[in-house]
């Protein structure tokens, strides 16, 4: 964003929050797919300039109509009175430009989801939604032809491994796993960069210098997602937006849950591997991985090591990732028979907010009794952690109200949460206890829950 505004003087792209929340800085990054281009909305404020290499960048200044006048999405904003002060409008317009290119039909729910990462404080969303619905999926042949021409140009570009150096810094984007492994071992102090949705804030908010960066977004195979008979195997560089439909197909509750991990602009860049690497105690996906007994596959040189997620977190922001090693992939077991799973996020607003408490719970029943259970929480301790005492209070017991009460009582010994700007310790305890009850009510039969049939 700084480069766009101060070097390229493309000042239509605005700076609002500088942390990927407000969408004022939304731009489009295009990559060839099929015979055309696929454009993804991303936040320029936390995007490093070298990530543009080999991509087609579109900013609001690039939008033109077929006759040289306003682009159809810009005209839709005018026609539906979607702009007042105009500060947020370029970001909205760029998000809508991606929707404009989406294959029709585009349901209203998809429009709402696409706009969830753009904030407007004065217009109100009704006219903006109307404008977006009016132009979604309606790209014309002239625009499609431009996209095909851009795809041809990018495919003809003779790419080489990207390495930049200057002003005491170095940025390298290897193209093979072997090259990545060699770089990480040779430079164990380097910042390994995936999507940058967290690392970008180290620069914009903490004003940190990152003199040595190894980027993952060009490594062949590192974004692959494979589903076999035992597990969903997710490459460390696979984005949330790519993994969402696959995880939701096997664990339906993860569909709405992952849609609350930022908005589309964040999910188009953010990765599960990066979520693990930063090891935040409130990382949204981390309780899910704990509850599902996922495994993290680490690589150091040519050696591979599979580590259970429960053993991956050592202390606050400390993991089992040794110097010279990197996260290769995450393996999530497929669900078993008579297994129930839920994931919850408690935050001040639905889209794009940091959780006060997050939880993921997995239950295996046998004959109405708890054969096994996993209760994993974020925001309750210095690391994402399972409530082992509450789990023990449930194992082997009937899945009923009495068992839930015992687990709720045991939960107080499992965690000593902190009070901070997001929630008090007392609130976090109450929420965690209530989420266990919610899980019970959502998975119990009426007889188990002492409820009459509806």
Are 378 and 287 within 8 A, CB to CB?
yes
- Reported as a pLDDT band with limits 50, 70 and 90, residue 155 is confident
Residues in a beta bridge with 234: 225, 330
- Reported as a pLDDT band with limits 50, 70 and 90, residue 451 is low
Residue 314, Cβ neighbours under 10 Å: how many? 12
Report residue 438: phi and psi, to 5°.
-60, -45
pLDDT at 452 over 60: no
Are 259 and 113 within 8 A, CB to CB?
yes
Q: What angle do CA 144, 150, 155 make, to 5 degrees?
A: 125
Section 100-118 average pLDDT: 94
pLDDT at 431 over 90: yes
Are 120 and 92 within 8 A, CB to CB?
yes
DSSP string of 170-211? EEEE-SSHHHHHHHHHH-TTSEEESS-TTHHHHHHTT-----
CB burial readout 164-193, b (16+ within 10 A) else e: eeeeeebbbbbeebebbbebbeebeebbbb
pLDDT at 454 over 70: no
Strands 212-215 and 191-193: parallel
For tokens 């995007």, the residue is 47
Q: How far is CA 348 from CA 108, 320, 355, 359, 390, in A?
A: 24, 32, 8, 16, 26
pLDDT at 453: 45
pLDDT at 168 over 90: no
Interatomic CA distance for residues 442 and 172, integer angstroms: 48
Q: How far is CA 425 from CA 81, 413, 431, 436, in A?
A: 45, 13, 10, 17
Section 288-315 average pLDDT: 97
Section 121-125 average pLDDT: 91
CB burial readout 77-112, b (16+ within 10 A) else e: beebebbeeebbbbbbbbbbbbbbbbeeebeeebbe
Interatomic CA distance for residues 257 and 234, integer angstroms: 18
pLDDT at 448: 80
155 against 50, higher pLDDT: 50
Look at phi and psi of residue 442 and say left if phi exceeds 0, alpha if psi is from -120 to 50, else beta.
alpha
pLDDT tens, residue by residue, 344-398: 999 988 877 889 999 999 999 999 999 999 999 999 999 999 999 999 999 999 9
For tokens 């309606």, the residue is 138
Which of 98-102, 352-356, 422-426 is least confident?
352-356
Strands of the sheet with 325-333, listed across from one edge = 225-227, 231-235, 325-333, 295-300, 303-308
What is the model's pTM? Answer: 0.94
Mean pLDDT of the chain: 94
pLDDT at 159 over 70: no
pLDDT at 302 over 50: yes
pLDDT tens, residue by residue, 237-253: 999 999 999 999 999 99
pLDDT tens, residue by residue, 23-61: 999 999 999 998 889 999 999 999 999 999 989 999 999
Interatomic CA distance for residues 276 and 310, integer angstroms: 12
DSSP string of 39-55? EEEEEGGG--GGGGTTS
Section 77-95 average pLDDT: 96
pLDDT at 118 over 90: yes
pLDDT at 336 over 50: yes
Interatomic CA distance for residues 39 and 264, integer angstroms: 12
pLDDT at 110: 94
pLDDT at 349: 83
């Amino acid at each position: 964003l700084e480069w766009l505004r101060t070097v390229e003087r493309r000042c239509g792209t605005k700076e609002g929050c500088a942390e990927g929340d407000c969408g004022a800085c939304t731009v489009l990054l295009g990559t060839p797919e099929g015979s055309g281009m696929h454009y993804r909305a991303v936040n320029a404020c936390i995007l490093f300039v070298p990530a543009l290499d080999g991509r087609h960048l579109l900013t609001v200044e690039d939008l033109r109509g077929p006759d040289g006048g306003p682009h159809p999405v810009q005209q839709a904003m005018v026609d539906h009175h979607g702009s007042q002060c105009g500060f947020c409008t370029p970001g909205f317009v760029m998000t809508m430009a991606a929707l404009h290119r989406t294959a029709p039909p585009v349901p209203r729910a998809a429009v709402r989801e696409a706009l969830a990462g753009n904030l407007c404080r004065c217009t109100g969303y009704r006219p903006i939604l109307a404008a977006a619905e009016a132009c979604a999926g309606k790209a014309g042949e002239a625009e499609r032809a431009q996209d095909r021409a851009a795809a041809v140009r990018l495919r003809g570009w003779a790419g080489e491994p990207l390495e930049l150096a200057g002003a005491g810094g170095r940025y390298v984007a290897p193209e093979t796993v072997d090259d990545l492994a060699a770089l990480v071992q040779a430079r164990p102090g380097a910042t390994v960069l995936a999507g940058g949705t967290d690392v970008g804030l180290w620069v914009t908010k903490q004003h940190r210098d990152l003199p040595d960066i190894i980027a993952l977004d060009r490594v062949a195979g590192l974004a692959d997602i494979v589903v076999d008979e035992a597990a969903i195997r997710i490459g460390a560089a696979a984005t949330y937006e790519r993994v969402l439909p696959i995880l939701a197909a096997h664990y339906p509750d993860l569909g709405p849950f992952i849609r609350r991990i930022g908005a589309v602009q964040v999910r188009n860049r953010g990765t599960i591997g990066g979520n693990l690497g930063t090891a935040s105690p409130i990382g949204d996906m981390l309780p899910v991985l704990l509850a599902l007994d996922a495994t993290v596959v680490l690589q150091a040189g040519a050696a591979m090591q599979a580590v259970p997620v429960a053993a991956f977190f050592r202390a606050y922001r400390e993991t089992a990732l040794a110097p010279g090693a990197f996260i290769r992939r995450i393996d999530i077991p497929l669900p078993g028979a008579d297994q129930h799973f839920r994931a919850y996020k408690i935050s001040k607003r639905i889209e794009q907010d940091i959780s006060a408490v997050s939880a993921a719970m997995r239950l295996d029943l046998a004959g109405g009794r708890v054969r096994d259970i996993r209760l994993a929480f974020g925001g309750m301790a210095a690391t994402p952690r399972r409530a082992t005492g509450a789990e023990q209070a449930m194992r082997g017991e009937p899945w009923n109200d009495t068992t839930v009460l015992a687990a709720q009582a045991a939960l107080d010994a499992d965690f000593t949460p902190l009070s901070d700007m997001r929630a008090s310790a007392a609130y976090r305890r109450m929420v965690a206890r209530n989420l266990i009850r919610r899980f019970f009510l959502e998975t119990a039969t009426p007889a188990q829950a002492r409820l009459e049939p509806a």
